[in-house]
Structure 1
Amino acid sequence: METEKIKETIHMISDEKLDVRTITMGISLLDCIDSDSDRACERIYRKIMTKAKNLVKVGQQLEAEYGIPIINKRISVTPISIIAAASADQDYFKYAQTLDRAAKELGVNFIGGFSALVQKGYQSGDLRLINSLPQVLSETDLVCASVNVGSTRSGINMDAVAQMGKVIKDAAERSFMANTKMVVFCNAVEDNPFMAGAFHGVGERDVVINVGVSGPGVVKHALEKVKGQPLDAVAETIKKTAFKVTRMGQLIGTLASERLHVPFGIVDLSLAPTPAAGDSVAQILEEIGLESVGTHGTTAALALLNDAVKKGGIMACNHVGGLSGAFIPVSEDAGMIAAATAGTLNIEKLEAMTAVCSVGLDMIAIPGDTPAETISAMIADEAAIGMINNKTTAVRVLPIKGKKVGEMAEFGGLLGYAPVMAVNAASSAAMIARGGLIPAPIHSFKN
């Protein structure tokens, strides 16, 4: 590499918060299925411990050798509703305990895949898993869960949407942190390395390494050099910066796969913010020209950002996947926190922004007395955006017991903190009570 390029990379890491947010090992558990749940859990434990035994060590070695921070080392597994369905167990807490024990012994940050795919309807394993969620989320430490309730091809399972509103309420009553570990999806992807929504899809290889990069601070600093220039120059600057960030992710992913003797999967080039100063997607949007994120023009600026990030990443790496774009979690982004606190950013504007960003309503604190039907309606709205636009959308809302609008909820670490945001008080209960299926849109029929 040229000396100037090396200096530029060092500067990105030391001053602009550039990091690899996660290396995630995806592990298939299909060969662990057994009608005896004890045998199945023992097989699951042994396979995870065998395949991922060096994951943390290799991540630490790469950090030391290349000076690139790798913030998280994680594991994703085949959706447990598929694996556990062969057993006669009526709840799947035992499986979650097995995942939690393996993750703790390996020293990873999280393990994802306590998941169900119910976009068109339930199988027996799906119902048992969903019923287990409140206990699993509140009584395990490292297990992350997800439920896919809709897709462009199949429509939206409104019975599942209604049930997930109740699950979120139940989990919040048990622990205010429980719902930080669960995502409700539409159009969930099989190779997502980011938590809480990661699972290892049945179409994936037996074991694979996926990488999630970050770098909002790098993008913001790059845009500071093109102040006042036209928006096409802004897009070009973001694209070039995303290229550099993705290259770094590809380097780490390739090295990790070689050392772990596991195939390299994808780079997810999502801009994942943190509460730290200078590591904010909201501040990128403000650098584009908004006085505060949430004002008019926010959705347009986010659309530009998301598209340019994807274009730059595709140029840099043949194996781009996951979600890839810009995340807008409120509690994990210093600029989003400030805008929500000041009142310039509300849930309705966040919903509009999700039509053009990577995921959806993410890490949003809401009053603890919000009805389950209202939460279900929020999920339905996000699923509709995903279904109609043929994109992934998700909901991770956090009812905070005893908290009112404007009070602060503290989650700690990368999860940050957030003001409790106002929710529309008008009821959606009658619609949610109808259940059934919202049919797939006309443009889903592509053959």
Structure 2
Amino acid sequence: MITLNEVIETNSMVSKMNLDVRTITMGISLLDCVGKDVQETCDKIFKKITESAKDLVATGNEITKMYGIPIIHKRISVTPIALVGGSVCKTIDDFIEIAKTLDRAAAEVGVNFIGGYSALVSKGMTAADKLLIESIPRALAETNVVCSSVNCGSTKTGINMDAIKLIGEKIKEAAELTADNDSIGCAKFVVFCNAPDDNPFMAGAFHGVTEADRVINVGVSGPGVVKTALEEVRGESFEVLCETIKKTAFKITRVGQLVAKEASKRLNVPFGIVDLSLAPTPAIGDSVADILHEIGLEYAGAPGTTAALALLNDQVKKGGIMASSYVGGLSGAFIPVSEDQGMIKAAEIGCLTIEKLEAMTCVCSVGLDMIAIPGDTKATTISGIIADEMAIGMINQKTTAVRIIPVIGKKEGDSAEFGGLLGYAPIMKVNNYDCSNFVNRTGRIPAPVHSFKN
């Protein structure tokens, strides 16, 4: 049972430490929406989403009023559209129609984002998968809140380099189609290795085929709460540091559990998972980088950063997993450059580089996230960066991801403005030594030897 005292304790965390529930995400299966043609499929998709999520936003608002806990976003994730549209979509335009239907349904129910314009291609691409990937630039440019993802690798299957080469080209195209808005289309697209089926966070959320017809997943936040707690034990031993993080993560996750169970009951939709991730915002005092500073680093990126992040990530999981009956998603600590004031500052002064961020992703919950790079970066260079990150996920049996934004017309030292929770980002230096002969090889990188466990 979650007691009234626990609710009261969160008031201070909400009012003084930027605690919030980042999202309530309703996952909706669209497998029963396939019609005889694209139009019938779109009609069924619109009907299923609008009927399932008609009360989602109002419910979130009611829970906020009841408990005083800010719920920043209400979102929807759906079955990967490459699967839903596979039998009826014969052209790029067919998939674009589904994207526009998702956007229209999201607007109808009032959610902030809808995810699942996705394909799962870790071992190979069907004709439908390839069409969907080719349609992504237009889908993101011609919709407002649709988010897209592609899973290109896994520990069990290896890395699909054909898909990664194509995706590098499509990221450049998406950047060009939204060049008048700092290439923001790329901010709504992410590439995964080992993508989870129950992630509530955008842009990578989709409703996995192993999930129930509908579920409620919740993503918590709380970097400011952890930082404030660590201020009270400044200079103490690692044992005290770890205990403090664990206890604080427990309290943060209990808030997520409370919201998830209440939303599940009110919407009559099964509770799925609570994602334990510490998700920063551009707000001052709500930064994962500031936690690293409090642990003892001058800036994120200084020597010791990877170790400090590993400690933080592990203790968040150890504390959070005891606070919820079901945890899942990504769970850990996000390190998006544009959404974290401390990360932005570290990147601006040159302490934080793409290479150091890549090292940090070996121990964090996601990967290279919201990184803005020069707009003239070659597609093969982008594919090479993605391949490196996929390899980290594959070898280490963890989820990794890349959300990278080549900002057309911008160069190193400039900045890009994305707005809202996406914040702004300095344009970071990219290693432009050529990798095209590597990227242009066809096929896939085989799975590692430790993947064979049958």
TM-score computed with the length of structure 1 as normaliser: 0.99
Counterpart of 2:54 in structure 1 is 53
Partner of 2:233: 226
- Residue deviations 1:224-259 (CA, integer Å, cap 9, x gap): 111111112111111111101111100100000100
Q: What is the distance in 2 between the residues matched to 1:401 and 1:49?
A: 36
User: Which residue pairs with 2:175 in the alignment?
Assistant: 172
How far has the Cα of 1:393 moved from its partner?
Answer: 0.3
Give yes or no for contact 2:273–2:328 (8 Å, CA) kept in 1.
yes
Q: Determine which of 251, 254, 261 is the counterpart of 2:261.
A: 254
Match of 2:105 in 1: 102
2:327 aligned with 1:326, yes or no?
no
Secondary structure of the corresponding residue to residue 204 of structure 1: coil
SS at match of 1:294: coil
Give the total of aligned pairs: 447
Tell me what 1:195 maps to: 202
Distance, in Å, in 1 between the alignment partners of 2:193 and 2:452 is 17
Alpha carbons 2:371, 2:405 under 8 Å: kept: yes
Q: Deviations over 1:144-187 (max 9, x none)?
A: 00000000000000000100000000000111110010000000
| Equivalences for residues 61-80 of structure 1 within 5 A | 61-80=62-81
Please say if residues 25 and 76 of structure 2, whose CA atoms lie closer than 8 Å, have aligned partners that are also in contact: yes
Q: 1:11 to 1:24 in 2, by over 3 A?
A: same
Per-residue CA deviations over 1:62-101 (Å, capped at 9, x if unaligned) read: 0111100000000000000000011143120000000000
Identify which of 348, 351, 356 aligns with 2:363. 356
What is the aligned partner in structure 1 of residue 301 from structure 2?
A: 294
Indicate yes or no: 2:29 matched with 1:22: no
**Using a 3 Å threshold, how does the CA distance of structure 1 residues 103 and 418 change in structure 2: closer, same or farther?**
same
- The one-letter amino acid of 2:240's match is A
TM-superposition CA deviations, 1:266-306 (whole Å, max 9, x none): 00010000010000000000100001110100000000000
Structure 1 residue 318, shift from structure 2 partner: 2.0
Residues 168, 179 of structure 1: 8 Å contact kept: yes
In structure 2, the residue matched to 1:378 is 385
Equivalence map 1:41-440=2 (5 Å): 41-91=42-92, 92-175=95-178, 176-440=183-447
Percent identity, please: 65
Contact kept in structure 1, 2:90 and 2:128, CA below 8 Å: no
| Contact 1:29-1:83 within 8 A present in 2 as well | yes
Tell me how far apart the structure 2 counterparts of residues 218 and 186 of structure 1 sit (CA, whole Å).
Answer: 30
1: distance between equivalents of 2:125 and 2:272?
Answer: 30
Write the distance in 2 (CA, Å) between the matches of 1:19 and 1:213. 7
Runs of 4+ in 1 over 6 A off after TM superposition: 1-4
**Cα pair 2:7 2:67 within 8 Å, conserved:** no
What letter matches 1:444 in structure 2?
S
Q: Secondary structure at the match of 1:244?
A: helix
Shift of 1:317: 1.1
SS of the residue aligned with 1:59?
helix
**Paired position in structure 1 for 2:39:** 38
Q: CA deviation at 1:348?
A: 0.3
Counterpart of 1:315 in 2: which secondary structure?
Answer: coil
Matched to 1:144, the amino acid is C
1:17-51: CA deviation from partner (whole Å, max 9, x where unpaired): 00000000000000011231110110000000110
Pair 67,159 (structure 1): closer, same or farther in 2 beyond 3 Å: same
Q: Helix, strand or coil: the match of 2:117?
A: strand
Say what the alpha-carbon RMSD is for the aligned residues: 1.0
Give the aligned residue type for 1:224.
E
Q: Which TM-score applies when normalising by structure 2? A: 0.97
Q: 1:114-170, CA deviations, whole angstroms, 9 ceiling, x for partnerless residues?
A: 000000001121011001001001110010000000000000000001000000000
Q: 1 CA distance for matches of 2:69 and 2:376?
A: 43
Shift of 1:55: 0.2
Whole-Å Cα distance in 2 between the matches of residues 444 and 5 of structure 1? 43
Describe the superposition over 1:3-27 as per-residue Cα deviations: whole angstroms up to 9, x where unpaired. Answer: 8755531110000000000000000
Take 1:241 and 1:107, find their aligned partners in 2: how far apart are those partners? 33
